[in-house]
Structure 1
Amino acid sequence: MTQQKKKIHYAWWLLLGVALMVGLAKGGIMTAGGLFLTPVTEDLGIGMGSLTLYFSISSIVTMIFLPIAGKIMAKYDIRVILVTSIILQAGAFAMFGLMNSVWGWYLFCIPMSIGSIFITQIAGPVLINNWFKKHSGLAMGIMVASGGIFGAILQPMAGNLIANEGWRITYFALGLGVMAVVVPVILLTIRMAPQQKGLQPLGSDEVQADNAASSQQQEVSGVTAAVAKKSSAFYALLLFFFFITAISSFGQHVAPFAMGLGYDIKFAGSAMGGWQIGVLIGALAFGILSDKIGAKNTAVFAMLLGLVPIAILLTVPENPLMFNLAIGIYGFVVASLGTLVPLLTSSLFGLKDYAQIYATAALGLAIAGIVALPGYGFVFELTGSYTSVLYAIAAMLVINVVLVFVAFKGKKKLEKAGLWK
C-alpha cells in the first residue's frame, strides 16, 4: 500500500504528453505565424490586411467545427483523432512554404484550423478534467506554460532562420519538426480516461477518504448545457472569451509592430521569445493563483495587469528595453487565456456538461479571431500604426473586468433558482 502511494500517478505522465503536444503546436506553429507576416508581405507584395485574412478564415472554420469536434472526441479513439489532427495542423503549416499567392494561405489554413481545434483547444482541458480531481489549476497552468517554454526557444530560432534561410525553409522546418515529435508523444502517453489504465483520477482517493458519497455527487455537480446557455453567466463568459481572445490575438502582430518601429526580424523573434517567457511564467502563476484565490479574482487581476504593457507600448515603444519588458508582461497576461478560460467555465457551470458548455462558449474565441486578427492588419495597412489598436485593447481589458463580475452574479442566480445540481 505504501509502495503504491509513492508511485507517480499516470496523470502526471499524461500531463507531460499533453504539455509536449500543446506546447510544440502552440509555440512552434500557432504563435509563430506572426513572424512570417512582414517577410511574406514584402516578398510576395501582399497587403498586411489581405494576408491576415487567413486568420479570419481559420476562425470561421474553428467556429463551424467546434460543436462537431466535441462529438467526435466522445465517439472515436482520442489517439487516432490527435494524430490525424497534428498531421493536418503541422502539415498544412509546412505547406505555406510552397505558396506564391495569398490564396495558398486561405486554402491551407482550413485543415490547419481543424487540426488545431483538437490539439490546442479542446483535448488538453478535457483530458486534464478527466485525469485531475486535485491540482487541476496547476495542471492547466503547466499545459499553458509549455507553449511558453517551446515558444521561448523556437521563436527566436525561427526569427534567425527566416533572416538567414528565408521564410519558406522556416515554414518547412517548424511544420515537419513539430509533426515528427508530437505523433509518437500522442501514441505513447495520451489516454482519454483513467479507467483505460485501471486507475482513478488523481486526488479522487483523497476526496473519497473524506466523504465518499459527497465526492460522487461533486463529480457530476453543475448545470446542464441547456440551462447554462440561457443564463446571463453564459453570455458574459462568451463575451469574456471574445475579448480575451481579441486581446491575445495582438501576439500575431507583435513582429509587424516591432518592424514598423524600425526593429529587424531578429529583434522581433527575440521579442516574441520574451513574450513566450511571459506566457511560461504567467501560466504557472495563474494556475497556482486560481487554486489559491479562485478563477474570478485571478481573472480580474490578469485584466488589470494587462493595462501596464499597453501603457508602455503607447508611450515608449522606441526604447528596446521597455519594448521587450512590455511584450514580456503582455505574454504573462495572455497566459491567462489558456488557464482561465477552462477554469472559469468549470467554476461557473460545474462539470456536469462541461465539454458541451466549454465547446459552445469557445465560439467566442473563434468569433474574435474572425474580427480582431485581420482587423488589426487592416488598421496597420491603412494607418501605418498600431496605436488605435492598443487603445482598443485597453478598453477590452476594462470591459472584461466588468464581465467577470456579471458572470459570477449570473452563477448566483442559477444557484438560487436551484438549477445547480
Structure 2
Amino acid sequence: MAEEQVANGAQDGAPKTGGKEKKGFFYGWWIVIGGFMIMATCYTAFVNCMSLFQAQIVGDLGMTIGEYNTGTSLASLISIVGTLIIGFLLDKINARAIAVGITALATVMLFGYSVASAPWHIYLLAALSGTIITAGARLFVSVIITNWFNLKRGFAVSLALCGSAFGGAILSPIVGTIIATSGWRFAFVVLAVICLVGSLPIAVIFFRSHPSDKGLQPYGAELTEDEIKAIESKGKKKVVQADPEVTVAIGWKVMKKSAAFWLLALGFMLVGAINAM
C-alpha cells in the first residue's frame, strides 16, 4: 500500500528529494561547481591577481603607488553598496541571469583595464569591480548554494568559495609570466578570456535559484530516521530533520533601522579594508 502511495505521489509531479533517496548525481553539485569556477576565475582576477599589475600600471600611467592604492581602497569601500545591490537582486532576478551578468561584466571590466589610459579609468573600474565582483560574487555564490543544500551545506559553500584560493594558486604565476613576457595589457586580455570561457558556459547551462526550479528539493530535505541513524553511526554530527524552504522578505525599511545590520556592514567594510592593506 505504501509503495502505491509513493508511486502515485511521483506520478502527481511531486518534487523529487535532493537527499539520499534520489540516486545519482544531485543537480545542486553543478551549482557548487559553477560557484567554484566563478570564484576561481572572476573573483580571483580582481582580488588575487590585481596586485601583480601595480608596478606596470603605475609606471605606464604616471601614477604614484598611493594613487593606485586609492583605487583598491575605493573598491573595498564600495563593496558595501555591492552587498546591498546583490542582496536586492537575489530577491528579484533568477540566479542564472545574475551569474551570467557577473561573468559578462567581469569580462568587460578586464578588457577595460587592458585599454585604460588614465588614472580615472582605474578608479572607475575599481569602483565597478568592488560593487559587482569583490562583494557581489562571493555573496551570490554563498546564498545560492545555501538554497540548494540542507545537508552538507557548510561543505558545499566552503567547497565553492575555496575556488578563489585554487584560482589564485593557478592564475597568479601564469599572469606574472604573461606580464613579464607580453605586457600587462595583454595579461588583462588573457584574464578576460579565462573568465568568459571558464564561467559563462556553466552559468548559462546550470545555474538555478532554487531546487524547485528543477522539480527537486534541497539536498537532505527528506531524511528518514534510519538514514539519520546511519549517518550518526558513522561518527558524523547529528542531523536534524530539515524544514521546507522558507522565503522571508524583511525589506529595506526594517533593515535600515537594525543596528545588527549596520554592524555587519561595518564588519564587511573593515575586512575588505584590512585585506586590501
Say whether the fold is shared (TM-score over 0.5).
yes
User: Could you tell me how far 1:197 is from its partner in structure 2?
Assistant: 0.8
Residue number in structure 1 paired with 2:171: 154
**1:105 aligned to 2:122?**
yes
User: Could you tell me how far 1:163 is from its partner in structure 2?
Assistant: 1.1
Q: Structure 1: give runs of 5+ residues left out of the alignment.
A: 251-421
> Which of 46, 54, 59 does residue 63 from structure 2 map onto?
46
5 Å-filtered alignment, 1:223-372, equals 226=254, 230-231=258-259, 234=261, 236-250=263-277
CA gap of 1:158–1:83, structure 2 versus 1, over 3 A, is same
Task: Please say if residues 11 and 202 of structure 1, whose CA atoms lie closer than 8 Å, have aligned partners that are also in contact.
Answer: yes
Task: Please say if residues 222 and 241 of structure 2, whose CA atoms lie closer than 8 Å, have aligned partners that are also in contact.
Answer: no
Residue number in structure 2 paired with 1:62: 79
CA gap of 1:240–1:60, structure 2 versus 1, over 3 A, is closer
Q: How many residue pairs get matched? A: 246
**1:89 aligned to 2:117?**
no
Equivalent pairs: percent with the same residue?
25
Query: In 1, Cα distance between the equivalents of 2:132 and 2:145?
Result: 19
CA gap of 1:245–1:119, structure 2 versus 1, over 3 A, is closer
User: Could you tell me how far 1:76 is from its partner in structure 2?
Assistant: 2.1
Residue number in structure 1 paired with 2:194: 177
> Which of 21, 45, 52 does residue 38 from structure 2 map onto?
21
Deviates more, 1:113-122 or 1:46-55: 113-122
Residue number in structure 1 paired with 2:138: 121
Residue number in structure 2 paired with 1:216: 243
**1:132 aligned to 2:149?**
yes
Deviations, residues 101-135 of structure 1 (Å, cap 9, x unaligned) = 11211233344344326752331111111001111
Structure of greater relative contact order (alpha carbons < 8 Å, 6+ residues apart):
2
**1:189 aligned to 2:206?**
yes
- 2:243 maps to a residue whose letter is Q
Task: Please say if residues 19 and 146 of structure 1, whose CA atoms lie closer than 8 Å, have aligned partners that are also in contact.
Answer: yes
CA gap of 1:197–1:222, structure 2 versus 1, over 3 A, is closer
Query: In 2, Cα distance between the equivalents of 1:169 and 1:145?
Result: 27
Higher percent of residues as helix: 1
> Which of 65, 73, 83 does residue 90 from structure 2 map onto?
73
TM-score, scaled to structure 1: 0.52
User: Could you tell me how far 1:249 is from its partner in structure 2?
Assistant: 2.1
- 1:75 maps to a residue whose letter is K
5 Å-filtered alignment, 1:392-403, equals none
Task: Please say if residues 148 and 219 of structure 2, whose CA atoms lie closer than 8 Å, have aligned partners that are also in contact.
Answer: yes
Residue number in structure 1 paired with 2:215: 198
Q: Structure 2: give runs of 5+ residues left out of the alignment.
A: 1-5, 7-18, 229-239
TM-score, scaled to structure 2: 0.76
- 2:223 maps to a residue whose letter is E
- 1:249 maps to a residue whose letter is A
Query: In 1, Cα distance between the equivalents of 2:178 and 2:200?
Result: 24
User: Could you tell me how far 1:81 is from its partner in structure 2?
Assistant: 2.5
